[in-house]
Amino acid sequence: MPKANDHQVAGDHYKTDHTVQHWDVVDLFNLDYFQGQITKYVFRWKYKHDTPKKRLDDLKKARHFLDKYIEIQERDDAEEAGPSYVNQG
């Protein structure tokens, strides 16, 4: 049975001159979902599409995921910090 890295289902945007595939980077660095999505779009933006606008769309997708990731981190940090008021009761 061929290994997953030996073929691609649909498209050829992962068949680049890179010696490592994006999913191997995700595995190697144990990236979470958002880190994986952000790096996926940044990793492939130059190779997936043939027009500048579509290539730029992938960078915008990466930024969109990053914006959501920042929102989640800010929310989690605020919850961890606890209430910002002093109980005077």
pLDDT tens series, the chain, 89 aa? 777 666 566 555 555 556 788 899 999 999 999 999 999 999 989 888 889 999 999 999 999 999 999 999 999 999 888 776 655 55
Number of domains in the chain: 1
| pLDDT value at residue 10 | 52
Q: The whole model's pTM is what?
A: 0.72
**Six-digit token pair at 63?**
């930024």
Look at residue 71 and give its three-state secondary structure. Answer: helix
Per-residue model confidence (pLDDT) at position 16:
55
**Is 26 a member of any domain?**
no
Asked whether residue 12 is assigned to any structural domain, the reply reads: no
Q: What is the pLDDT of residue 87?
A: 59
Domain hosting residue 53, numbered range: 32-78
* 23 inside domain: no
Residue 57 lies in a domain: yes
> Contact 79/72 with Cβ under 8 angstroms?
no
Q: Does residue 5 sit within a domain?
A: no
pLDDT in tens, 1-26: 777 666 566 555 555 556 788 899 99
Residue 56 CA: distances (Å) to CA of 25, 47, 48, 53: 22, 11, 11, 5
pLDDT value of residue 54: 92
Residue whose C-alpha is closest to residue 58's, from 73, 43, 36? 43
